[in-house]
Amino acid sequence: MSIQQIKIRTGNQMIAEGALHAGCQFFAGYPITPASGIYKSMIEELPRRNGVAISSPDEISALAYCVGASARGAKAMTATSGPGWSLMIETVQYALMTELPVVIAVVQRLGPSTGGATQGAQGDILLTEYCTSGAYTIPIFAPSTAEECFEVASLAMFWAEELRTPVIILSDKEIGMMSEDVNFSSLVSSPVNYRKQPVNNDTDGYKTYNFKSLADVPLFSPIGGEHKTTITGSAHDKGGSLQKNSPETIEVLRHLQKKITSRAEEMAFVKTDDDPNADILIISFGITARTAREAVKLARKQGMRVRLVNVISLFPIPEKLLKKAAKGVHTIFIAEENLTGQYRSVIQHLFAGTIVIGINSFGKMITPNDILGCITL
Amino acid sequence: MTTVQPKTFLKDSVAFPFCKGCGHHHYVHNLDRALSSLQLDPKKVCIVSDIGCIGILDSLFVSPHTFHTTHGRSTAFATGVELADGILNDSKLKTVVVIGDGGATIGLLHVVNAALMNVDVTVLVANNMLYGMTGGQHSGFSPLEFITPTTPEGNIVPPMDICAMIKSCGAEYVTSISATDKNLTNVIADAIAHPGFALVEIVELCTEFAIGNNKIDGKTIQAMAEQHNAATLPATFKRKEFCEEYKSKVLGHPSKIKNDALTQRYISSLHGTRRWVIAGTAGEKVQLSSYLLMRAGILCGLHATQKNDNPVTQGSGFSLSEVVLSSEEIYYTGIDVPDVVIISSAEGLKEVTANGTISRSNKQTVIIMEDSLPEITTSARIYRVPLRSMCTPQRATTSAVAAFIARELVIPIEAIVDSIQMHVGEKVSLYQDDIKKLLPLLS
C-alpha cells in the first residue's frame, strides 16, 4: 500500500494551502490564537509564490489592506478569531457594499470579548452571518477536518470571486490547531477563477456597479485599470455616485442580496452519512460534526436508524437539502458547541411538524456520549 | 498609445459642496493643479478619501479612480492598493489619500504604519482643527483654548503635531503649509512625485464652526503651518520604498519548507483506537514527543491526530499533548478515557489532574510517570520510573513513549525509532539506550 502523499497538517495550514491553490495573491493579517497558523503559513509561503503576505498593526488594518488590494485586482484573504473579527466588521460591511471580493477565515474561540484564547467554541455563527446593517447574506463555509479546510478555502475563494463579495470560512480552535494526517492525493478543490472583467474597450460606458438583472454580478475593473472606477461604501447608483434613496440606489441594495441568494442552491453543500430508513436526523457542522459521526457509529451499533448531515455551507442556509434530509424522521437533533443553539435558531423553522432538539455545550467539546445520551432518551 | 493629458481632472462646471470661504476650495483646486502639472495619466491616479467634508471631493473628480472609504481608514485602504500595485503589478499607480484632521485622529495608526513602511502613498491632511461634518466637535488637532461646540470653555488638551509625529516614524517627505499658500500646488506635486510615503498637512479654516468664537485668521494659520514645518525637507531621500524593498528582500525567495510527505513503511497490529495523553513541563519536548508518536503511527498506515495545550506564555508552566491513533478514520478527537498517560514532571501531573485526565482513567489505562512525583489515586495501572534521571528531562517523554511501544509491540519499535531518527539523526542512539533501560521497568 502506498501513501506517498500523507502529510501532517493542521486545519489552519490546510486553509492556507487551499487559498494558495485557489490563487490567493495577497494576505494581510494580525496574529491571534487560534488563527495564527494561517497567518504563519501565508507569511512563509505566499511570497515564495510571488504573492504578498503582510503583517499589519491590527485587524482593522489587516482587512482594509486586503480590500484595498482587492480593489487593485488581487485575490485577497485574511484570518482572525473573535476579538479580531469584531474589529473587522466595519470593513467587511464596506467590502460587501463596494462588491470587493475578499475571504476571511474566522477561527472561533470561546467568547465573549477576549474570552478563552485556547478554548474551542462554535459561538460566532450569528455574529458572523448577521454582522451587517441590513443582515445581508454573507456566504459562510465551515470545515470539520483538515482536508475539508483545503476544500472550503478553495470554495470560499471561488465564491468570493464569482459573486464579488466577502466570504467567510468559519473554522474553530479544534479544527484549526489540531494536527492530523492529510492525504494530499485526495484533496478536493473548486475551479480556480477570477472575477469577471469587461471584455470590450468601451471605457466610457463602464460603470463600477452595473447590472441588468438584480442577480447579475457587475463586471470588475481594477483601480489602475483601463476603466475609471468609482468605489464608495455610501449608498450609490450603478455608477458609484453617492445617492440618498433614489430608486436606482434601492435597486443596487436589493441587488447586493439578490446576487447571493439567487445562487444559494449552487452554494448549498452538505455531507450526509445516510441511513435511508432513518427516523432520527442529526444536523451538525465543524468540529461537532466529527463528534456526531462517532456518535452515529455507536448508535447504529445499538440498532438505531440515524442520518447525519454535516453542513458545510452554513449560509446561505441550504434549505432544500436540509428539508430533504428531514423527510421521514420523527426527531431532529442539532448539535453545536454554543450556549443557545445559534444555528438551530435560524434553521428550525424549516422543520415544522417535526420535533427539533438542541444538543449544546460550551467551554468544552461535545462528546459522542453527550449526543448518544440525547438521541437514545 | 499616447495618452492625452487633461488640463483638469475635475468635472466641468461642477459646484463645490463646501461652505463659502472654506479652505477645502483651495485644497481641491491645488490638488487638481498638482495632478495636472505632473502630467499623470488619470488612469494611473487613485484618490482615496473617507468620511468628512473633504472626503466628498471624490465626486468632483471626473477622470482618476476614486475610492471613498470608511472614517479614518483611507490610509489603510490606500496602503493595500499600493502594496498590490507596487508588488503584484507595474507600480505605476499614484495613490493620494485625502483625509481631514478628524479622520487622521481616528485613523492615526494607519498613517503611522504607512509612514513606518514607507509605502508610496501621499497623505494630504486637511487640518481645519475640528470635525466639520458632524457639528464642529474638537479633534486631536484642535489648538489649546480652541472653542468648539464640544469645548465651549476652550480646549484644554494640547493638539498633536502630525508632522513631528510622522517624521518620528522615519517618513522623509513631511511638511505643513497653509491652504492659501501660493506654493501649495508645488508642494502637493512634489509630495505625490516622491517615491515613498509623503504627508502634507494643509492648514485651513472651517468658516462654519471655527470662525466667530475663535481669534483665528490667515496669519494664525500661516504661523501654525510654519511651526509644524520647523524642520525643512531633506536635500536627498535615503529610504527605499516599501514595495521595492519587499521585492528585493522577500519576494520569490526559495521555500524553506521541506517535502515532509510520509510513506508507509511498517505494519501496525492496532485495530481500533489508542488515545495517549503526554504531560510535562514547557521546554522539555513534550509536544515534540507527541508529534514523533503521531508520525510513527502514520508510518504504519494509521490515522492520527495531535492536540497541544500550554499556558498563554508558552515557554513556562505545563505542556500537554493528546494523540489519537486509529486504524480507522478519526472522527471524535477528544479523549474521554485515555489508554496511555505519560507524566514527566510536577507541572504535567498538576495539569492532568486539573483537566480530569487522571479521574477519567480506568483499569484499561496505563500511566507511566516520573517516580519522584507524589502518589496518585486511580484504578489505572501505574508504572513509576525515573524518567528524568534515566533519560534526561529533554528525552523523558519521547523515550517513555518509545519504551511503551517497545513493550506493547502494537506499533513496531522500528517505526518510533525511525520517526525519532528523522528528527534527531544519529542521536537516536541515545533514545535507543533509554528504551533498553526503561523496558525492564515497564514489565
Q: Which residues contact B277 (CB under 8 A, 6 or more apart)?
A: B320, B321, B322, B335, B338, B340, B341, B342, B352, B357
Min Cα distance A337 → chain B (Å) is: 14
B63 neighbourhood in chain A, CB within 8 Å:
228
pLDDT at B3: 56
Closest CA to A322 of A294, A343, A351: A351
* A77 and A176 housed in the same domain: yes
Domain boundary among A163, A186, A209: A186
Which DSSP string do the residues of B280-320 spell out, in sequence order?
EETTSSHHHHHHHHHHHHHHTT-EEEEEEE--TTSSSSEEE
Cell 517513555 identifies what position?
Answer: B400
Fold assignment, B24-249: Rossmann fold (3.40.50)
* Architecture in CATH for domain B273-442: 3-Layer(aba) Sandwich (3.40)
pLDDT on residue A160:
98
CA distance B111 to B169: 10
Contacts of residue A118 in chain B, CB cutoff 8 Å? 309, 312
Flag whether A228 is in a domain.
Answer: no
Contacts of B232 (CB under 8 A, 6+ apart): none
Q: One fold for both B24-249 and B273-442?
A: no
B177 closest CA partner among B22, B9, B27: B27
C-alpha–C-alpha distance, residues A279 and B102, integer Å:
62
What is the C-alpha to C-alpha distance for residues B246 and A55, in angstroms, rounded to an integer? 13
Q: Which amino acid is at B64?
A: P
Q: How far is A327 from chain B (nearest CA, A)?
A: 26
Which amino acid belongs to residue A17?
E
What is the DSSP code string of B344-368? -SHHHHHHHHHTTHHHH--TT-EEE
Shortest CA gap B177–chain A (Å)? 28
The one-letter amino acid at B376: I
Min CA distance, A248 vs chain B (Å)? Answer: 18
DSSP B68-117: E-STT-HHHHHHHHHHIIIIIS-S--EEEEEEEHHHHHHTHHHHHHHHHH
CA separation (Å) from A105 to A128, A157, A171, A313, B186? Answer: 11, 11, 7, 14, 45
Domain boundary among A147, A170, A186: A186
Q: Report percent pLDDT > 90 for chain B.
A: 87
User: Cell 462528546 belongs to which residue?
Assistant: A367
| Distance, first Cα to last Cα, chain A | 43
Chain B hits for A57, Cβ within 8 Å: 109, 112-113
CATH number of the structural domain spanning residue A12: 3.40.50.970
Exposed, middle or buried, A337 (CB in 10 Å: 0-12/13-18/19+)? buried
Cβ neighbours of B93 in A, within 8 Å: 72, 223-224
A35, A181: one domain: yes
Q: How large is the C-alpha radius of gyration of chain A?
A: 21
- The pLDDT assigned to A3 comes to 47
The span from the CA of B186 to the CA of B326, in Å, is: 72
Are B332 and A117 an interchain contact pair (Cβ–Cβ within 8 Å)? Answer: no
List of residues 6+ apart from A76 with CB closer than 8 A: A24, A25, A26, A27, A28, A66, A67, A69, A70, A101, A102, A103, B80, B84
Q: For residue A253, what is the enclosing H or E element?
A: helix A247-261
Facing B85 at nearest CB: one of A4, A184, A224: A224
Q: Which residues of B198-229 are buried (b: 16+ CB within 10 A; e: fewer)?
A: bbbbbbbbbbbbbeeebebeeeebeebbeebb
List the single best residue of A8, A42, A132, A201 to mutate versus B (max B Cβ within 10 A). A8
DSSP, res A350: G
On whether both A177 and A49 belong to a single domain, the answer is yes
Do A149 and A36 lie in one domain? The reply is yes
Taking each helix axis from N to C end, the angle separating B108-117 and B74-83, rounded to the nearest 10 degrees, works out to: 30
Q: Dihedral sign for Cα B61, B65, B71, B72, please.
A: negative
**ipTM reported for the complex surpasses 0.85:** yes
Residues of chain A in contact with residue B119, where contact means CB-CB under 8 angstroms, are none
Mark yes or no for CB contact A47/B301 under 8 Å.
no
Helix (H, G, I), strand (E, B) or coil at A149: helix
Q: Is residue A246 in a domain?
A: no
Grid coordinates representing A242?
A: 453617492
Query: Is A203 within the bounds of a domain?
Result: no
Tell me how far apart the 2 most distant CA atoms of chain A are, in Å.
70
Q: Bridge partners of B97?
A: B48, B123
**Sheet bearing A26-29, strands edge to edge:** A52-55, A26-29, A76-80, A102-108, A166-172, A140-141, A313-315
Find the domain containing A132 and state its range: 6-186
CB-based contacts of A61: which residues, under 8 Å, 6+ apart?
A28, A30, B76, B79, B109, B110, B113
Distance separating alpha carbons of residues B51 and B98, to the nearest angstrom? 10
Is the CB of B84 less than 8 angstroms away from the CB of A226? Answer: no
| Helix or strand run (H / E) with residue A311 | strand A306-311
Chain B hits for A48, CB-CB cut-off 8 Å, are: 252-255
Identify whether the C-beta of residue A319 lies closer than 8 Å to the C-beta of residue A271.
no
Q: Do A224 and B331 touch (CB under 8 A)?
A: no
Q: Which of A186, A204, A239 is the last residue of a domain?
A: A186
Q: Which residues in chain B show pLDDT less than 50?
A: 1
CA dist A305 and B236 (Å) reads 79
| Nearest CB partner across the interface for B79, out of A44, A68, A90 | A68
Is the separation of the CB atoms in B294 and A8 below 8 Å?
yes
Size of interface A-B (CB pairs under 8 A): 226
* φ, ψ of residue A103 in degrees (nearest 5): -110, 135
Tell me whether residues B67 and A180 touch, CB distance under 8 A. no
- Cβ contact (<8 Å) for A65 and B79? yes
Contact A48 B263 (CB under 8 A): no
Beta carbons of A232 and B58 less than 8 Å apart: yes
Q: Mean pLDDT per 10-residue run, chain A (377 residues)?
A: 77 98 98 97 96 98 98 98 98 98 98 93 98 98 98 98 98 98 95 93 85 98 96 97 92 98 98 97 98 97 98 98 98 98 98 97 94 93
Q: Do A64 and B63 touch (CB under 8 A)?
A: no
Per CB-CB distance under 8 Å, the chain B contacts of A225 are 43
Domain boundaries, chain B: 24-249, 273-442
* Whether residue A276 is found in the same domain as residue A142: no
The minimal CB distance from B80 to the residues A33, A65, A90 is found for A65
- Number of domains making up chain A: 2
CATH number where A365 lies: 3.40.50.920
Work out whether strand B340-343 and strand B366-370 pair parallel, antiparallel, or are unpaired.
parallel
Contact criterion met (CB < 8 Å) for A2 and B263:
yes
CB contact under 8 A, B84 and A52: yes
CA of A146 to nearest chain B CA: how many angstroms apart?
Answer: 10
Binary contact (B109, A61; C-beta < 8 A): yes
Flag whether A241 is in a domain. Answer: no
**Are the Cβ atoms of B306 and A228 closer than 8 angstroms?**
no
Cell output for A280: 432520527
**Residue A371: in which H helix or E strand, if any?**
helix A368-375
Contact A118 B312 (CB under 8 A): yes
